[in-house]
Amino acid sequence: MIRMRRVTKVYKGNVYALEDVTVDIERGEFAFLVGPSGSGKSTFIKLLIKEEEPTGGQIYIADTNINQLRKWKVPYLRRKIGCVFQDFKLLPHKTVYQNVAYAMEVTGKSHRIAEQQVPEVLKLVGLGHKLESFPDELSGGEQQRVAIARAFINRPPILLADEPTGNVDPSLADGVVRLLEKINDSGTTVIMATHDKQIVNTFRKRVIAMENGRIIRDQDRGVYGYE
């Protein structure tokens, strides 16, 4: 599903965010991308959705080399990849329903389809009763569930989550990851960047550990493993 070959990303000021990263992530996998802050996790994710361009190396998604992807095709790539972020990125003046329906409207789907599917997906994330609430009326955990619903509404084959539990109360963080697990069970490939040791150790998934832009460890059913 996702293949990186000797990928390097150098930011302005000669900052090596990724260095010689080679990794394969198969369809249907669930992988934690772990490492201390500044180790290159967010850059890894930004490269996959072409928010940043790699300085060197090749990235393939579903056998398409996305380095060579035409600019106008990038939106269609992003429709195949759901994204969840630490800061939720919800629109404050739209309701929960509207925030999720938005992701469908943007891809040109009709209101009728949205009216059918949005409540369904919100029920799946446990917010079937909060359709008309606004984001600031929800807890962090609930907001992140809305963001996950939005990322999942178009049934993307890949879901990327960058520190999704970072702004969520620790007691609710498990629930967020369990939701991602549920989405993974439906066949979606999930990559979750995190430096939450407790979560990684609880869920025991594949762990890709990074340090200073390099992959230093890659193990199935792994643990967080930093001091």
7 in contact with ligand ADP (CB under 6 A):
no
Rule CB under 8 A: is residue 60 a binding residue for other proteins?
A: no
In the shown chain, the binding pattern of residues 143 to 182 toward ligand ADP, with x for contact by CB under 6 A and - for none, equals ----------------------------------------
What is the CB neighbour count within 10 angstroms for residue 154? 18
Task: Single out the residue of 19, 40, 101, 140 in contact with ligand ADP (rule: CB under 6 A).
Answer: 40
75 or 128: whose CB is closer to other proteins? 75
Strands, E, within the chain: which ranges? Answer: 2-11, 15-25, 30-34, 56-61, 64-65, 81-85, 158-162, 189-194, 206-211, 214-219
42 versus 189: smaller Cβ distance to Mg ion:
42
Choosing from 39, 42, 143, 184, the residue that interacts with Mg ion (CB under 5 A) is 42
Helix 96-105 with 140-152: angle, nearest 10 deg: 20
Residue 42 in the binding site for ligand ADP (CB under 6 A): yes
Q: At what angle do helices 96-105 and 111-124 cross, to 10 degrees?
A: 130
Does 89 bind other proteins (CB under 8 A)? Our answer is yes
**Cα–Cα distances in Å, from 67 out to 50, 115, 217?**
8, 36, 26
User: Residue 102: which of other proteins, Mg ion, ligand ADP, none does it interact with, CB under 5 to 8 A by kind?
Assistant: other proteins
The tokens of 217 are what?
């460890």
Using the minimum distance from each CB to other proteins, give the nearer residue, 15 or 106.
106
At residue 104's C-alpha, the angle toward residues 149 and 75, to 5°, is 100
Q: 10 Å Cβ neighbour count for 79?
A: 14
Contact 136, 127 (CB under 8 A): no
Question: In whole angstroms, how close is the CB of 32 to Mg ion at the nearest point?
Answer: 14
Q: Does 39 bind Mg ion (CB under 5 A)?
A: no
Given 48, 83, 121, 191, the residue binding other proteins (CB under 8 A): 83
Neighbours of 103 (CB within 10 A): 19
Q: Pick the closest to residue 97 from 75, 73, 118, 125 (CA basis).
A: 118
Site map 29..58 versus other proteins, x via CB under 8 A:
--------------------x---------
Strand partners, 21: 7
| 78 counts as binding other proteins under rule CB under 8 A | yes
Q: Which amino acid is at 41?
A: K
**Smallest distance, ligand ADP to C-beta of residue 15, A:** 4
Direct distance between the N- and C-terminal alpha carbons of the chain, in angstroms, rounded to an integer: 32
Residues that bind Mg ion (CB under 5 A): 42
Residues that bind other proteins (CB under 8 A): 49, 72, 75-79, 83, 89, 91, 102-103, 105-108, 110-111, 150, 154
